[in-house]
Amino acid sequence: MERCVAFLKDAEVYYLATVDGDQPRVRPFGTANVFEGKLYIQTGKVKDVSKQIHANPKVEICAFKDGQWLRIAGELAEDDRREAKQAMLDAYPSLQNMYSADDGNTEVFYFTKATATFSSFTAAPETITF
């Protein structure tokens, strides 16, 4: 899992796909933080992406860097604890212009039932579960 987070941070941008009824939705994301041994991402409750995750927690993310791509499919679980939100904001100080742990909007989710696959055109895929 640490390898996945390192890859996401190095790539800087990943794309988060959610399910909206029978319509896939995808958008760029950047937040990835390890807290208590789990992979967390951050968003705002006002966003459609948040509403989609609450309606259906199945998501997939994809990032590409240096000829290799990582996909992580799994489910997202909300962690409403202040310390989980603050850990994310501490990891991304630039977010503190827009978000705070107590603003009623900031939310963090961690991956469960995750299957991560590293792929490239030159090597066999490697799969990790966490």
Ligand X SMILES: Cc1cc2nc3c(=O)[nH]c(=O)nc-3n(C[C@H](O)[C@H](O)[C@H](O)COP(=O)(O)O)c2cc1C
- Token pair of 83 as six digits: 């310390």
Which contiguous run of DSSP H or E holds residue 114?
strand 106-120
Q: Determine if 44 is a binding residue for ligand X (CB under 6 A).
A: yes
Q: Which is nearer to ligand X, 27 or 123 (CB)?
A: 27
Q: Determine if 13 is a binding residue for ligand X (CB under 6 A).
A: yes
- CA 37, 42, 45, 51 dihedral sign is negative
Q: Determine if 45 is a binding residue for ligand X (CB under 6 A).
A: no
122 secondary structure, DSSP code: S
- CA 93, 6, 85, 19 dihedral sign is positive
Q: Pick from 49, 59, 61, 84 the residue near ligand X by CB under 6 A.
A: 49
Output the smallest distance, CB 36 to ligand X, in A: 19
- CA 72, 77, 38, 130 dihedral sign is negative
Q: Determine if 106 is a binding residue for ligand X (CB under 6 A).
A: no
Classify 4 as helix, strand or coil.
Answer: helix
Q: Which is nearer to ligand X, 30 or 77 (CB)?
A: 30
Output the smallest distance, CB 32 to ligand X, in A: 8
Q: Pick from 33, 43, 70, 89 the residue near ligand X by CB under 6 A.
A: 43
Residues that bind ligand X (CB under 6 A): 13, 25, 27-31, 42-44, 47-49
